Structure 1
Amino acid sequence: MGTTLVLGLGGTVDYEVRWDAEVIGALAVQYGIRRAELTTMAPIVDERSLVVTILAFVLDGAGGERFVESSEVVKQFADRFTTEITLGGTGVRAGIALDRLGIPSVQHLVSIDDHVRRLMPASISWVSSATGDTLDPHLIVQYPPGTVIRFDDGEIVSPSSNRLIFANDPPNRSMAIAPELGDALTEARAFLVSGFNTMQDEALLERRLTDLDAALEHLPADALVYYEDAGFYVRRFAERIWAHLLRRIDVYGMNEDELQEYVDRPVDLLDPADVAAALLAAHRLIPVPALLVHTQHWAIAVGPAAAGHRDAVASAVQMAATRFRLGDGFTASDFEATALLSRSARGEDVVEGVERMITGAAGVPAFRIDTATPTTIGLGDSFVGGFLVVHAPVPEPQP
């Protein structure tokens, strides 16, 4: 078995804005935005349409990721707020979570700049397909529960907290595969694949998947392949992923937003029967050994290999909860302390119900955490990092 964790496929530089409902409300008034025009599906071509989309998500208490016509829109909006520059991308944030526990990883990157060089933890090495420095930041908007935004024809109140991602990132849309990836995979215990969701050129996607197929030939047969869905900009592209990778994927992860897109209906996340029906429908569509769905209430895996991943799912839930309550700055002892917290009673009910209804299902309820400053950014990424903790190489004993 290999000795490394390889995480990919693309990293990002994130502009995390500090939420300010007054600034958002003032922009809504400035642009004459009306409640009736709020939608999450219209093209984002300028700052006005960006604000319309943010307000629509807040109204529903939903999270999501959307394409922006220009990175300048992202920069213009971020300049209005206190903004922290961080590193993102599923692989990078999963690697940062692993770093908090002293676990090293190898990243596959498609872009590089001084922010990446400065902020990447020392335990993380990388291979990169970038041929020069570029900066195309992702805007990360995290809003709290109960936030009130007032504008000309009324107000909206968020029913829950969530996070939004807006970006125009050419390197991640191109997703060039580094020639060195195959060599990196030779010693891999586990390989995380994510990021194809941002691609918009089907012919280019097909070429990148062919390149990835070639790299996967170097992966040990007993290595785990974890695929994180992450919400496709062009939903039908998921079928190209399945055509190339389903035969090799061991665990296929997604959140509740992606689950509901695949089953094409709302899912009551606190109704065990509705959840079970949705999980079975999604697994029929994506017949992998373990289909894993993670939500704010529970994480449940279904499929013939699901039960074998119970410890990894528990570690994943613990990692996401630790980030939720403490952000990026947690320690290994903070991670251990999370395990002592109480669980969501309603989440426990769903897990117990689904496990009764679906043979072999393996679920873990979320922790019950009360904090005035929740971190909703990167929870799914940290969840993946927590899952991979169980697959990390055991350090050699020191003489």
Structure 2
Amino acid sequence: MTRISHDAPGEPNPLRALGLDRLRRRTSMKWRTHPDDVLPLWVAEMDVPLAEPVVRAVTDALALGDTGYPAGTAYAEALAAFAAKRWDWHGVAVERTAIVPDVMMGAVEMLHLVTGPGDPVVLNPPVYPPFFQFVAHMDRRVTEAPLGPDGRLDLDAVARAYRTATAGGGRAAHLLCSPHNPTGTVHTADELAALAALADRYGVRVVVDEIHAPLTGDGTAFVPYLSVPGAENGLSLMSASKGWNLAGLKAALAVAGPAAAADLARLPEEVSHGPSHVGVLAHTAALTDGTAWLDALLSGLDANRRLLRELLAEHLPQVRYQPGESTCLAWLDCRALGLGDDPAAVFLERGRVALSAGPDFGTGGAGHVRLNLATTPEILTEGVRRMASALH
């Protein structure tokens, strides 16, 4: 019988704080997309109460009527301090940062700076579906460098993609996901340095989405892309959004390597009007005062990864699952179940559990589903039980 683990000592596990009845009162995408009989384990919203410092920052702002336009560098300063303490990275220079509405819109703006219409953008599928959608909407072309069978960067595939992307002599970029969504893979320093060397050789500009970086636990070292040799002309997007469940409080930071400062300086001034001022305050508070809460969350996610592995072994032993090193997501290989390319559709129809469809993540996604681990152990247990019931 699967056992549900107890809270870690110290700050309470935020993943054990909210019951299903209270969660169903939420009006966000996760809880309102499907009917009430569906258990939602799909989009990356976490079933947690907010960290108290975040709540305090937001409520203080509302009490003051401090709901105007964002200003100042407090967010960048908070990120710099967090990165230095958490990752031993001292490379966030405040003067080489800019606030942007969110990570994806920030990535779009960075790609506008280093590519033009029709230029190729390299992606590593299976990868976060909006990468494909936003690149296409920008009138750029996707060039794929799929992950290897081990779910890690395939540097030979990256080199081939770079050669293809630059064959015509034009500009090209690589939109990198680090840590990787959906696999939870954390790229190593050696992998990132090798990628930076390839980018330099072929003249490809790397734009990296590092939104899941805070969700990397103590057992794995997150390596900021801009910290590796050769990455000086890279552009990074960072945010407290995923680490502290702040998707509805829009704010992110673009960070330029030393050789990309001039590119970031060309960012249109009006982009800085897009982030929410209250969002900036919330993200700053999270990075500055929310680390104890984050550590409790990371312990809870580790426990949920162990629980998921036990549940799958008990109820769905044919499903292959390699626990990720970061993110709040699980990438499940369901091909042995014989449910076709889109098993999420079967789990939804027959089991009334909503998961993210693997084919949406591009090459390598068929036969897979993405499951959001950031929920209570009880909901996670019920979700796997429903998945198993869909097979009968």
Same fold (TM over 0.5): no
TM-score for the superposition, normalised by structure 2: 0.29
TM-score for the superposition, normalised by structure 1: 0.29
Q: Which structure: greater strand fraction?
A: 1
